Amino acid sequence: MPASAKVGYARVSSEDQNLDRQKETFAKCGVERVFEDKASGKDTNRSGFHDMMKFVRDGDHLYVASMDRLARNLKDLLSVTETLQEKGVSVHFVKENISLYPNGEQSPISKLLVAMMGAVAEFERSLIKERQAEGIALAKKRGVYKGRMPISPTIIAKAKERIAMGVPIARVAKDLKVGRTTLYKYLKA
């Protein structure tokens, strides 16, 4: 039987953010392998997340710097931790100092804390979104909110040129730091 592994899962919300702080946390915990995502945590549709879920096995320990890095809403947080526990994986949230063990080995207080802190994180996220929407509405009233800047014709020309050379659109979008959906929209026009 293979030895258990110490695995880390790190996530930031966008490409321009870095994972250094989370990786530093994992180094202190003795994590051997880190799975990463630079994507929103609004759902669990993330490649690094899926790779991590496929990789972990019975006896492994998953370290996450903070609960909101694993899931942004309570439903996903509870579902993911339950799935991991059913696989025999221990889940450790470093910032919150909470560990969940397979087969219900954790204390009832740990389970309660995960649910409470997950709910608080979800509530905090909805407040941020609400304040953001209010700020945008006020800026629009004052006439200072213009939305996103359009993509320059130069970038669109570069994209068309690379696509014509056979480079996949996803690769072109990533290289030019443009969203794939946005690139499709501009290519249609």
**Residue holding tokens 């949230």?**
93
Among residues 126, 175, 172, 168, the alpha carbon closest in space to that of 15 is found at 175
Which of 4, 13, 66, 99 is an active site residue? Answer: 13
Cα–Cα distance for residue pair 17/129, rounded to 1 Å: 19
User: 50 vs 15, 127, 141, 147, 187, CA distance in Å?
Assistant: 18, 28, 42, 33, 30
The edge-to-edge listing of strands for the beta sheet with 61-64 is 33-38, 6-12, 61-64, 90-93, 98-100
Cα–Cα distance for residue pair 156/47, rounded to 1 Å: 27
Q: And the tokens for 42? A: 């609004």
Per-state percent for the chain, helix, strand, coil, to nearest 5: 55, 15, 35
| Amino acid (1-letter code) at residue 79 | S
Q: And the tokens for 65? A: 């710097």
Please say if 14 is a catalytic residue.
Answer: no
Residues annotated catalytic, as ranges? 13
